[in-house]
A and B are shown apart, each in its own frame.
Chain A
Amino acid sequence: MKFPRKLAALSASAACLTLALSGCGADAPKNAGPTGETGKEPVTLSLATFNEFGYEDLLKEYETLNPNVTIQHKKAATTNEARDNLTTRLAAGSGLSDIEAIEVDWLSELKEYPDQFVDLKDPAVEGRWLDWKTEAATTQDGHLIGYGTDSGPEAVCYNGALLEAAGMPSDRESVAKMLGTTWDSYFDAGKKFVAAGTGPAWFDSAGAIYQGMSNQMSKAYENEDGTVIAADNPEVKEVYTKVLTASTQDNLSAHLGQWSNDWVAGFQSQKFATTLCPGWMLGVIEGNAAGVEGWDVANVFPGGGGNWGGSYLTVPSQGKNQAEAKKLAAWLTAPEQQIKAFTAKGTFPSQVEALTSEELLGQTNAFFNDAPTGEIFAERAKAVGDSPFKGPKFFAINDAMQQALTRVDVDKSDDAESSWAKFLTAVKSL
């Protein structure tokens, strides 16, 4: 029985190889599309978030309320990880969760592909969020990409002990008055502080200050039609010059790159007196400055309001259970639920109603001299103006700008003019 066995073996191994090879292309995802009805068929929804959204208990609650729904929660450790996952799978056309959480910073690139996301516009949720929050996630033709979750309204954090040492007031109200409402008044206060000659600088990093200022420009780098205006926009050059004058000429900067090891160490060695802080930054400062006394929050932000960070829930159109997913996303981002998430993990709400909740307004922070942080950031959130227009090249141009600032402020390898010239070259190369 020699030959049949051999033939069988040969053909079997050939078949195995064919099978193994064809395995990768076999299953194209079935596009069932959104079903009209929700709430009857048993359904499994997947939800992908990152860091801490504070959703653990809420998901259990939702499953109890909707017995037909089972939720699988995937949590990425970092936003970068989540962003890589999202872009790669968007490109591949499959593999995303039914609900994908995104960061506000990714919106500019994702809004270029509205077809990839279900339009979540719905009369039922109209007016739920602060205007700027919804605006940022709406494309020019009115397609709403995501439901807002948390936000990052900015205030100014300061080290009261250092202010006192320089003979300045240190209580929240006086500091807010002293910092004033414009960037000029903020820098003027800094000049007075530095003139006292106590050692520390006024702010941590030129890049961080620029970030706060540039977010108040209606459009910094690009026009809506996609033309790049970064090089010719007088506003950009003006802010650039103002920040660097403050950094070099007036010596207000501690010359630290934000998030660098030196910056982290700068909190312990008390190298600077103020820093711009969105709500979530309080935790970062508390961690970096552990043991340092005197930190506090002033209810003010130069040049109006500012927002840094915050997330959205989207429903990718490649998903199979779009109607159920939209329902869950709407439920999770409702004010009542967001308040629970805020209590669990401190994610500051972007919903109008949540900003008046007792639980939020009553919150204080022991590390920041028992500042009424709930109340302060609720007010800061209302002060945020129109959301700036960010085009598809925003990320790349902003990176080049931050590098230009770092060359002058931190590295000191260029002066403002030569660094600006390099910035122009970088923008041209895009």
Chain B
Amino acid sequence: MSVTDRVRPQGQSIDEEIPGNRDVRRLAFSQQVSKWDVKLSPYLYISPFFLLFALTGLFPLLYTGWVSLHNWNLIGGQGKFIGFENFGFVLGQPYFWNAVGNTLSIFLLSSVPQVVLALLIAAVLDANLRAKTFWRMGVLVPFVVAPVAVGLIFNNLFADQFGLVNEFLGLLGLDPVRWHSDQLASHFAIATMVNFRWIGYNALIFLAAMQAIPRDVFEAATIDGAGRVRQFLSVTVPMLRPTVIFVAITSTIGGLQIFDEPRVFDQSGLGGADRQWQTLTMYIWELGWGQRNFGRASAVAWLLFLMIVLIALVNFLLTRRIANQGGRK
């Protein structure tokens, strides 16, 4: 390829090549290719993620939307196109709104204490402890227990007649709590399972972020006379801002999609005799697999998706504001 060597120094003369000269045209093409290479390759390198996402995320999302506009049976498959009838039906169901309420209630009871407690535990772990690794691994243990196993353990604790918690309350002379018939009590019990599983995980994320905070900031604060608590509130928390946003958003998504814990909370898995703890995902399950009405189930799935987007946005704005205010102090 001696031609290449000869032409190269001329640089941008490609456009003025004499037509008919094959070598020069080949060169032009080769330069074109290397241009494409520079422009396209980065996208090609990251494309596997997006292709996979399109296949496993975007496509199901859109397809669910398509299903929600039809009569659709789990086994029988596609039926008539009926527009937004499924959405109308579902929105008119008291069970749907009950599920929305339950989901939000369990979400609040789990997410808020989860983030706060995780922050506190992380702060403690960040301190100079003996056997650091032991404690740090310790908080992660609940996370590796399968949710259904957690469910089994907590079901024994929260059984109505012979549960450990009620026996204990009895010893203290208190009335037993009706975990499986009282709505708020059931939410509390389920939120406890969720918190048990996720606090340690979030604490480790916070801990990692805390350790990235430069130590001299703390030194300066100490010299200025700030105590431990003041340092935590005015230095640590504001500097964790991006992490707090991340944890808040992931726990929002997880919290709104909660399924395993409420499903194993009783033997039939339908969310209680009066749907006291039927969440939106369980309602989707009931419609899709209990009644085999995929159209309606998909409509609820889409509504849940919109709800998550909305709440995640609100969450994002809120946490950003809070963190900003903290920063300004």
Whether B274 lies near A262 (C-beta < 8 A) is no
Whether A113 lies near B75 (C-beta < 8 A) is yes
Q: Which of B2-40 contact A (CB under 8 A)?
A: 4, 26, 29-30, 33-34, 36-37, 40
Query: In the bound complex, how far is the Cα of B274 from the Cα of A6, in angstroms?
Result: 65
Whether B159 lies near A17 (C-beta < 8 A) is no
Query: In the bound complex, how far is the Cα of B34 from the Cα of A3, in angstroms?
Result: 8
Query: In the bound complex, how far is the Cα of B268 from the Cα of A258, in angstroms?
Result: 9
Kindly list chain B residues whose C-beta atoms are within 8 Å of the C-beta of A257: 180, 266-268
Whether B75 lies near A21 (C-beta < 8 A) is no
Closest to A426 in B: B95
Q: A13-B44, A269-B162, A403-B273 are in contact. Are A112 and B33 (CB under 8 A)?
A: no
Interface size class of A (residues with CB under 8 A): 35 or more
Query: In the bound complex, how far is the Cα of B34 from the Cα of A221, in angstroms?
Result: 72
Kindly list chain B residues whose C-beta atoms are within 8 Å of the C-beta of A402: 268, 273
Query: In the bound complex, how far is the Cα of B47 from the Cα of A262, in angstroms?
Result: 53
Kindly list chain A residues whose C-beta atoms are within 8 Å of the C-beta of B324: none
Q: Which of B170-228 contact A (CB under 8 A)?
A: 178, 180-181
Which of B106-114, B126-134, B234-242, B289-297 is the interface stretch? B289-297
Q: Which of B252-280 contact A (CB under 8 A)?
A: 266-268, 270, 272-275
Whether A399 lies near B290 (C-beta < 8 A) is yes
Q: Which of A283-325 contact B (CB under 8 A)?
A: none
Whether B75 lies near A87 (C-beta < 8 A) is yes
Choose among B267, B274, B289 the residue that contacts A260 (Cβ–Cβ < 8 A).
Answer: B267
Query: In the bound complex, how far is the Cα of B57 from the Cα of A121, in angstroms?
Result: 44
Q: A3-B29, A6-B37, A17-B51 are in contact. Are A410 and B162 (CB under 8 A)?
A: no
Choose among A113, A116, A262, A413 the residue that contacts B160 (Cβ–Cβ < 8 A).
Answer: A262
Q: Which of B51, B156, B291 has the most CB of A within 10 A?
A: B291
Choose among A91, A261, A393, A395 the residue that contacts B155 (Cβ–Cβ < 8 A).
Answer: A261
User: A265 an interface residue at 8 Å Cβ cutoff?
Assistant: yes
Whether A399 lies near B268 (C-beta < 8 A) is yes
Query: In the bound complex, how far is the Cα of B274 from the Cα of A410, in angstroms?
Result: 11
Whether A410 lies near B181 (C-beta < 8 A) is yes
Kindly list chain B residues whose C-beta atoms are within 8 Å of the C-beta of A422: 274
User: B161 an interface residue at 8 Å Cβ cutoff?
Assistant: yes
Choose among B26, B76, B161, B290 the residue that contacts A112 (Cβ–Cβ < 8 A).
Answer: B76
Whether B77 lies near A87 (C-beta < 8 A) is no
Whether A396 lies near B290 (C-beta < 8 A) is yes
Closest to A255 in B: B161
Choose among B34, B95, B274 the residue that contacts A411 (Cβ–Cβ < 8 A).
Answer: B274
Kindly list chain B residues whose C-beta atoms are within 8 Å of the C-beta of A87: 74-75, 289, 292
Kindly list chain A residues whose C-beta atoms are within 8 Å of the C-beta of B93: 429
Whether B74 lies near A91 (C-beta < 8 A) is yes
Can you report 19 residue pairs joining A to B where beta carbons are below 8 Å apart? A1-B1, A3-B33, A6-B34, A10-B36, A21-B55, A87-B74, A91-B77, A260-B159, A260-B267, A266-B161, A269-B162, A402-B273, A403-B274, A403-B275, A407-B273, A407-B274, A410-B181, A411-B274, A429-B95
Residue ranges of B at the interface with A (Cβ–Cβ < 8 Å): 1, 4, 26, 29-30, 33-34, 36-37, 40, 44, 47-48, 51, 55, 74-77, 93-95, 155-156, 159-163, 178, 180-181, 266-268, 270, 272-275, 289-292
